[in-house]
Protein backbone atom coordinates (compact mmCIF):
# COMPACT_ATOMS: atom_id res chain seq x y z
CA UNK A 1 0.00 0.00 0.00
CA UNK A 2 1.39 3.41 -0.93
CA UNK A 3 2.11 5.81 1.91
CA UNK A 4 1.43 9.54 1.85
CA UNK A 5 4.47 11.69 2.49
CA UNK A 6 4.66 15.42 3.01
CA UNK A 7 7.39 17.37 1.25
CA UNK A 8 8.48 20.95 1.61
CA UNK A 9 10.07 22.79 -1.26
CA UNK A 10 11.53 26.09 -0.13
CA UNK A 11 11.70 28.56 -2.97
CA UNK A 12 13.80 31.61 -2.25
CA UNK A 13 13.51 34.92 -3.97
CA UNK A 14 15.88 37.12 -6.40
CA UNK A 15 21.48 35.45 -16.03
CA UNK A 16 22.42 36.06 -19.16
CA UNK A 17 23.25 35.24 -22.91
CA UNK A 18 25.71 35.78 -25.78
CA UNK A 19 27.39 33.78 -28.51
CA UNK A 20 29.58 31.05 -26.95
CA UNK A 21 33.31 31.45 -27.15
CA UNK A 22 35.07 28.60 -28.87
CA UNK A 23 37.17 26.75 -26.36
CA UNK A 24 35.76 28.64 -23.40
CA UNK A 25 34.74 26.77 -20.27
CA UNK A 26 31.08 26.42 -19.35
CA UNK A 27 31.47 29.00 -16.59
CA UNK A 28 33.13 31.48 -18.96
CA UNK A 29 30.45 30.97 -21.62
CA UNK A 30 27.66 31.42 -19.06
CA UNK A 31 29.25 34.57 -17.68
CA UNK A 32 29.62 36.02 -21.17
CA UNK A 33 26.03 35.18 -22.11
CA UNK A 34 24.76 36.77 -18.91
CA UNK A 35 26.91 39.88 -19.16
CA UNK A 36 26.08 40.61 -22.79
CA UNK A 37 22.33 40.17 -22.28
CA UNK A 38 22.24 42.46 -19.25
CA UNK A 39 24.30 45.13 -20.98
CA UNK A 40 21.95 44.96 -23.97
CA UNK A 41 18.94 45.52 -21.68
CA UNK A 42 20.46 48.33 -19.58
CA UNK A 43 18.60 51.52 -20.50
CA UNK A 44 19.60 53.49 -17.40
CA UNK A 45 22.87 54.74 -18.89
CA UNK A 46 20.74 56.67 -21.39
CA UNK A 47 19.06 58.86 -18.79
CA UNK A 48 17.49 60.87 -17.51
CA UNK A 49 14.54 58.59 -18.29
CA UNK A 50 11.04 57.75 -17.13
CA UNK A 51 9.56 54.25 -17.05
CA UNK A 52 5.78 53.78 -16.81
CA UNK A 53 4.02 50.48 -16.26
CA UNK A 54 0.38 49.44 -15.94
CA UNK A 55 -0.32 46.07 -14.32
CA UNK A 56 -3.45 43.98 -14.81
CA UNK A 57 -3.87 41.67 -11.82
CA UNK A 58 -6.50 38.88 -11.91
CA UNK A 59 -8.46 38.56 -8.63
CA UNK A 60 -10.39 35.72 -7.03
CA UNK A 61 -13.77 37.36 -7.74
CA UNK A 62 -13.18 37.28 -11.50
CA UNK A 63 -12.41 40.98 -11.95
CA UNK A 64 -9.06 42.62 -12.64
CA UNK A 65 -7.23 45.00 -10.34
CA UNK A 66 -5.07 47.76 -11.83
CA UNK A 67 -1.72 48.98 -10.53
CA UNK A 68 0.47 51.73 -11.96
CA UNK A 69 4.18 52.29 -11.45
CA UNK A 70 6.26 55.31 -12.50
CA UNK A 71 10.04 55.38 -12.13
CA UNK A 72 12.00 58.59 -12.76
CA UNK A 73 15.78 58.22 -12.96
CA UNK A 74 18.28 61.05 -13.14
CA UNK A 75 21.42 59.45 -11.67
CA UNK A 76 22.50 56.58 -9.44
CA UNK A 77 22.03 58.80 -6.38
CA UNK A 78 18.89 60.58 -7.59
CA UNK A 79 15.76 58.65 -8.55
CA UNK A 80 12.11 58.18 -7.56
CA UNK A 81 9.46 55.42 -7.77
CA UNK A 82 5.71 55.81 -7.25
CA UNK A 83 3.09 53.04 -7.03
CA UNK A 84 -0.67 53.57 -6.97
CA UNK A 85 -3.87 51.62 -7.61
CA UNK A 86 -6.00 48.87 -6.08
CA UNK A 87 -5.92 50.71 -2.75
CA UNK A 88 -2.11 50.67 -2.60
CA UNK A 89 0.25 53.66 -2.58
CA UNK A 90 4.03 53.76 -2.24
CA UNK A 91 6.75 56.34 -2.86
CA UNK A 92 10.50 55.79 -2.83
CA UNK A 93 13.08 58.55 -3.25
CA UNK A 94 16.86 58.17 -3.30
CA UNK A 95 18.83 61.36 -2.73
CA UNK A 96 21.98 62.36 -0.85
CA UNK A 97 22.95 58.81 0.07
CA UNK A 98 19.58 58.07 1.71
CA UNK A 99 16.56 56.04 0.67
CA UNK A 100 13.17 57.41 1.77
CA UNK A 101 10.06 55.20 1.60
CA UNK A 102 6.39 55.72 2.43
CA UNK A 103 3.58 53.17 2.11
CA UNK A 104 -0.07 53.15 3.04
CA UNK A 105 0.30 49.45 3.89
CA UNK A 106 2.71 47.60 6.15
CA UNK A 107 3.86 45.44 3.22
CA UNK A 108 3.60 45.56 -0.58
CA UNK A 109 1.43 43.12 -2.51
CA UNK A 110 2.81 40.09 -4.37
CA UNK A 111 2.40 41.74 -7.83
CA UNK A 112 4.39 44.80 -6.67
CA UNK A 113 7.32 42.72 -5.45
CA UNK A 114 7.07 40.40 -8.45
CA UNK A 115 7.05 43.24 -10.96
CA UNK A 116 10.08 44.89 -9.36
CA UNK A 117 11.95 41.58 -9.55
CA UNK A 118 10.94 41.12 -13.20
CA UNK A 119 11.73 44.65 -14.34
CA UNK A 120 15.11 44.57 -12.60
CA UNK A 121 16.17 41.70 -14.84
CA UNK A 122 14.34 43.00 -17.93
CA UNK A 123 16.23 46.32 -17.71
CA UNK A 124 19.71 44.97 -17.02
CA UNK A 125 19.71 44.57 -13.20
CA UNK A 126 21.98 47.60 -12.86
CA UNK A 127 22.78 48.40 -9.19
CA UNK A 128 22.70 52.11 -10.08
CA UNK A 129 19.08 51.83 -11.26
CA UNK A 130 15.82 52.18 -9.31
CA UNK A 131 15.17 48.45 -9.65
CA UNK A 132 17.93 46.08 -8.58
CA UNK A 133 17.76 42.57 -7.15
CA UNK A 134 20.83 41.88 -5.00
CA UNK A 135 20.11 38.17 -4.54
CA UNK A 136 22.39 35.59 -6.11
CA UNK A 137 21.79 31.89 -6.43
CA UNK A 138 22.05 29.75 -3.32
CA UNK A 139 23.89 27.21 -5.47
CA UNK A 140 27.42 27.43 -6.87
CA UNK A 141 26.51 25.44 -9.99
CA UNK A 142 26.53 26.91 -13.50
CA UNK A 143 24.46 25.46 -16.33
CA UNK A 144 23.50 26.28 -19.93
CA UNK A 145 20.47 24.67 -21.56
CA UNK A 146 18.25 25.16 -24.61
CA UNK A 147 14.56 26.13 -24.71
CA UNK A 148 12.19 27.22 -27.46
CA UNK A 149 10.20 30.34 -26.55
CA UNK A 150 7.60 31.55 -29.04
CA UNK A 151 9.42 29.58 -31.73
CA UNK A 152 12.83 31.06 -30.89
CA UNK A 153 15.68 28.75 -29.88
CA UNK A 154 17.08 30.37 -26.74
CA UNK A 155 20.03 29.69 -24.48
CA UNK A 156 19.08 29.49 -20.81
CA UNK A 157 21.77 30.27 -18.25
CA UNK A 158 21.93 29.59 -14.54
CA UNK A 159 24.87 31.11 -12.63
CA UNK A 160 25.70 31.76 -8.95
CA UNK A 161 25.38 35.52 -9.50
CA UNK A 162 21.63 35.53 -10.25
CA UNK A 163 18.82 33.79 -8.41
CA UNK A 164 17.09 31.95 -11.22
CA UNK A 165 17.50 31.09 -14.90
CA UNK A 166 17.57 33.59 -17.77
CA UNK A 167 16.70 32.58 -21.34
CA UNK A 168 18.13 34.74 -24.11
CA UNK A 169 17.73 34.90 -27.88
CA UNK A 170 21.37 34.50 -29.00
CA UNK A 171 20.66 36.32 -32.26
CA UNK A 172 19.48 39.55 -30.60
CA UNK A 173 20.70 39.23 -26.97
CA UNK A 174 17.10 39.90 -25.86
CA UNK A 175 16.06 38.37 -22.56
CA UNK A 176 12.82 36.48 -23.31
CA UNK A 177 12.26 34.66 -20.03
CA UNK A 178 13.38 34.84 -16.42
CA UNK A 179 12.54 31.83 -14.27
CA UNK A 180 13.10 33.20 -10.78
CA UNK A 181 12.63 31.06 -7.71
CA UNK A 182 9.35 32.83 -6.94
CA UNK A 183 7.76 33.23 -10.36
CA UNK A 184 8.36 32.83 -14.07
CA UNK A 185 8.40 36.00 -16.18
CA UNK A 186 8.14 36.23 -19.96
CA UNK A 187 9.19 39.36 -21.88
CA UNK A 188 7.87 40.40 -25.29
CA UNK A 189 7.39 43.39 -27.63
CA UNK A 190 10.92 44.75 -27.36
CA UNK A 191 11.57 48.40 -28.21
CA UNK A 192 14.85 50.22 -28.67
CA UNK A 193 16.42 53.08 -26.78
CA UNK A 194 19.76 53.77 -28.36
CA UNK A 195 21.69 50.51 -28.42
CA UNK A 196 19.59 49.06 -25.60
CA UNK A 197 16.24 47.27 -25.85
CA UNK A 198 13.47 46.82 -23.29
CA UNK A 199 10.28 44.70 -23.32
CA UNK A 200 6.96 46.50 -23.63
CA UNK A 201 5.09 43.53 -22.16
CA UNK A 202 5.72 41.29 -19.17
CA UNK A 203 3.62 38.36 -17.96
CA UNK A 204 4.20 36.65 -14.63
CA UNK A 205 2.97 33.25 -13.53
CA UNK A 206 3.44 31.10 -10.47
CA UNK A 207 5.48 27.93 -10.64
CA UNK A 208 2.14 26.11 -10.98
CA UNK A 209 1.22 28.10 -14.10
CA UNK A 210 -1.27 30.52 -12.52
CA UNK A 211 -1.23 34.00 -14.09
CA UNK A 212 -0.28 36.56 -11.44
CA UNK A 213 -0.10 39.74 -13.50
CA UNK A 214 0.46 41.20 -16.95
CA UNK A 215 2.25 44.53 -17.43
CA UNK A 216 2.52 47.03 -20.28
CA UNK A 217 5.66 49.17 -20.17
CA UNK A 218 6.88 52.36 -21.82
CA UNK A 219 10.22 54.13 -21.44
CA UNK A 220 10.92 57.71 -22.55
CA UNK A 221 13.72 60.19 -22.14
CA UNK A 222 12.74 62.82 -19.61
CA UNK A 223 13.45 66.54 -19.59
CA UNK A 224 15.63 67.86 -16.81
CA UNK A 225 14.02 67.26 -13.42
CA UNK A 226 13.39 70.04 -10.94
CA UNK A 227 15.77 69.80 -7.99
CA UNK A 228 12.86 69.57 -5.54
CA UNK A 229 11.51 66.48 -7.32
CA UNK A 230 14.00 64.32 -5.40
CA UNK A 231 13.54 65.97 -2.00
CA UNK A 232 13.18 63.69 1.01
CA UNK A 233 9.69 62.43 1.77
CA UNK A 234 7.99 63.58 5.00
CA UNK A 235 7.31 60.89 7.61
CA UNK A 236 9.26 58.35 5.56
CA UNK A 237 11.25 55.34 6.70
CA UNK A 238 14.91 56.20 6.03
CA UNK A 239 17.94 53.98 5.36
CA UNK A 240 21.44 54.46 3.99
CA UNK A 241 21.82 53.94 0.25
CA UNK A 242 25.41 53.77 -0.91
CA UNK A 243 26.76 55.14 -4.18
CA UNK A 244 30.40 54.89 -5.21
CA UNK A 245 32.54 55.09 -8.34
CA UNK A 246 33.05 51.30 -8.56
CA UNK A 247 29.43 50.43 -7.68
CA UNK A 248 29.20 47.21 -9.72
CA UNK A 249 32.39 45.82 -8.20
CA UNK A 250 31.35 46.84 -4.69
CA UNK A 251 28.21 44.71 -4.59
CA UNK A 252 28.32 41.60 -2.38
CA UNK A 253 25.22 39.47 -2.84
CA UNK A 254 23.67 38.10 0.36
CA UNK A 255 23.81 34.34 0.87
CA UNK A 256 21.20 32.48 2.88
CA UNK A 257 23.31 30.86 5.56
CA UNK A 258 20.79 29.84 8.21
CA UNK A 259 17.60 28.14 7.04
CA UNK A 260 14.95 26.82 9.41
CA UNK A 261 12.64 24.43 7.56
CA UNK A 262 8.96 24.64 8.48
CA UNK A 263 7.23 21.53 9.73
CA UNK A 264 4.29 20.25 7.72
CA UNK A 265 1.39 20.67 10.17
CA UNK A 266 -0.21 17.32 11.04
CA UNK A 267 -3.76 18.60 10.57
CA UNK A 268 -2.86 20.07 7.18
CA UNK A 269 -1.30 16.78 6.11
CA UNK A 270 -4.31 14.78 7.29
CA UNK A 271 -6.66 17.19 5.48
CA UNK A 272 -4.54 16.95 2.30
CA UNK A 273 -3.83 20.67 2.37
CA UNK A 274 -1.01 21.83 0.11
CA UNK A 275 0.05 24.83 -1.98
CA UNK A 276 2.36 27.84 -2.08
CA UNK A 277 2.68 30.38 0.74
CA UNK A 278 3.83 33.91 -0.19
CA UNK A 279 5.85 35.88 2.35
CA UNK A 280 7.27 39.40 2.46
CA UNK A 281 10.65 39.70 4.19
CA UNK A 282 12.50 42.83 5.23
CA UNK A 283 16.14 41.94 5.93
CA UNK A 284 18.30 44.11 8.18
CA UNK A 285 21.85 45.22 7.40
CA UNK A 286 23.22 42.42 9.58
CA UNK A 287 21.39 39.76 7.52
CA UNK A 288 18.77 38.97 10.15
CA UNK A 289 15.06 39.17 9.45
CA UNK A 290 13.52 42.46 10.49
CA UNK A 291 9.93 41.82 9.41
CA UNK A 292 8.31 38.75 7.88
CA UNK A 293 4.63 38.92 6.98
CA UNK A 294 2.23 36.59 5.23
CA UNK A 295 1.01 37.84 1.86
CA UNK A 296 -1.35 34.97 1.13
CA UNK A 297 -1.47 31.68 -0.67
CA UNK A 298 -2.22 28.28 0.82
CA UNK A 299 -4.28 27.34 3.88
CA UNK A 300 -3.80 29.45 7.07
CA UNK A 301 -2.04 26.70 9.04
CA UNK A 302 0.51 26.28 6.24
CA UNK A 303 1.03 30.03 6.20
CA UNK A 304 1.61 30.08 9.95
CA UNK A 305 4.16 27.25 9.72
CA UNK A 306 6.08 29.01 6.96
CA UNK A 307 5.98 32.34 8.78
CA UNK A 308 7.37 30.93 12.02
CA UNK A 309 10.27 29.20 10.24
CA UNK A 310 11.34 32.04 7.92
CA UNK A 311 11.54 34.49 10.84
CA UNK A 312 14.69 32.62 11.93
CA UNK A 313 16.52 32.73 8.61
CA UNK A 314 19.78 34.64 8.28
CA UNK A 315 21.87 35.91 5.35
CA UNK A 316 25.65 35.72 5.76
CA UNK A 317 27.32 37.56 4.18
CA UNK A 318 24.64 40.25 4.22
CA UNK A 319 23.97 42.56 1.27
CA UNK A 320 27.00 44.85 0.91
CA UNK A 321 26.92 48.04 -1.16
CA UNK A 322 29.93 50.35 -1.47
CA UNK A 323 31.58 48.62 1.46
CA UNK A 324 28.59 49.06 3.75
CA UNK A 325 26.05 46.45 4.86
CA UNK A 326 22.59 47.43 3.61
CA UNK A 327 19.00 46.33 4.30
CA UNK A 328 16.84 44.94 1.51
CA UNK A 329 13.37 43.55 0.84
CA UNK A 330 12.48 40.28 -0.84
CA UNK A 331 9.64 37.98 -1.75
CA UNK A 332 9.83 34.42 -0.41
CA UNK A 333 7.62 31.50 -1.34
CA UNK A 334 7.34 28.17 0.46
CA UNK A 335 5.69 25.31 -1.39
CA UNK A 336 3.95 22.60 0.62
CA UNK A 337 3.33 19.49 -1.47
CA UNK A 338 1.95 16.02 -0.71
CA UNK A 339 3.12 13.04 -2.78
CA UNK A 340 2.03 9.40 -2.90
CA UNK A 341 4.60 6.59 -2.98
88-95 and 98-103 strand pairing: antiparallel
**Burial level of 111, CB count in 10 A (0-12/13-18/19+)?**
buried
Whether residues 79 and 228 fall in one domain: yes
pLDDT of 22 reads 44
How large is the average pLDDT for residues 78-93? 96
Query: What totals of helices (H) and strands (E) does the chain contain, helices first?
Result: 5, 21
Q: What is the pLDDT of residue 326?
A: 93
Confidence band for 144, pLDDT divided at 50, 70 and 90: very high
Mean pLDDT across the stretch 29-58? 92
Query: How far, CA to CA in Å, does 296 sit from each of 111, 229, 281?
Result: 12, 35, 13
Of the residues 200, 221, 250, the one at which a domain ends: 250
Residue 340 pLDDT class (50, 70, 90 cuts): low
Domain hosting 54: range is: 10-14+16-250
What lies within 8 Å, CB to CB, of 176 at 6+ separation is: 149, 150, 152, 154, 167, 168, 169, 186, 187, 188
Sign of CA pseudo-dihedral 24, 28, 34, 39: negative
- 201, 225, 250 - which closes a domain: 250
The domain boundary, picked from 191, 222, 250, lies at 250
Distance CA 330, CA 108 (A): 10
Residue 46: band (very low, low, confident or very high) from pLDDT cuts 50, 70, 90 = confident
Same domain, 134 and 277: no
Q: Residue 24 has what pLDDT? A: 61
Other Cβ atoms less than 10 A from the Cβ of 105: the count is 11
Same domain, 35 and 155: yes
Residues 200 and 304 in one domain: no
What does the alpha-carbon distance between residue 60 and residue 83 come to, in Å, rounded to a whole number? 22
Q: Do residue 197 and residue 321 come from a single domain?
A: no
Look at residue 341 in the predicted model and tell me its pLDDT.
57
With 80 as the cut, is the pLDDT of residue 47 above it? no
Read off φ and ψ for residue 289, nearest 5 degrees: -70, 130
Mean pLDDT, residues 29-53:
91
Report the CATH number at residue 261.
3.30.2420.10
Same domain, residue pair 172 and 46: yes
pLDDT at 203: 98
Q: Average pLDDT in the 294-317 region?
A: 93
For the chain, the average pLDDT equals 89
Three-state DSSP at 39 gives helix
Q: 125 — alpha (psi -120 to 50), left (phi > 0) or beta?
A: left
pLDDT at 319 over 80: yes
Given a cut of 90, whether residue 339 has pLDDT beyond it is: no
CA dist., res. 283 & res. 179, Å (int)? 23
Could you read off the pLDDT of 151-175 as tens digits, one per residue? 999 999 999 889 999 999 999 999 9
Task: Please tell me the least confidently modeled range out of 15-19, 52-56, 300-304.
Answer: 15-19
pLDDT tens for 256-284 read: 999 999 999 999 999 999 988 999 999 99
pLDDT of 308 higher than 70: yes
Among 5-14, 28-37, 74-83, 147-156, which is the least confidently predicted range? Answer: 5-14
Q: Full-prediction pTM beyond 0.85? A: yes
Question: Within this chain, do residues 244 and 274 fall inside the same structural domain, yes or no?
Answer: no
**Total domain count for the chain?**
2
Tally Cβ neighbours within 10 Å of residue 268: 22
CATH number at residue 33: 2.50.20
Amino acid sequence: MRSLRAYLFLILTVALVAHPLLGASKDERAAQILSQALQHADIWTRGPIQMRATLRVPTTNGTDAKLECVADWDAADKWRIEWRGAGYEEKVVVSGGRLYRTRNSTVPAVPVLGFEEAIAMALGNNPAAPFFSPLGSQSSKTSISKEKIRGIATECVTTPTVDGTVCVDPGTSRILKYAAQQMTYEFDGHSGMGAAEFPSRISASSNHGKLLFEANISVTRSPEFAASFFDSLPQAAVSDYGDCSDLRKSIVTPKLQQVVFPKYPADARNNLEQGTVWLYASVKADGLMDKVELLGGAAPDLGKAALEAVRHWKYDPPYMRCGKASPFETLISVNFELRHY
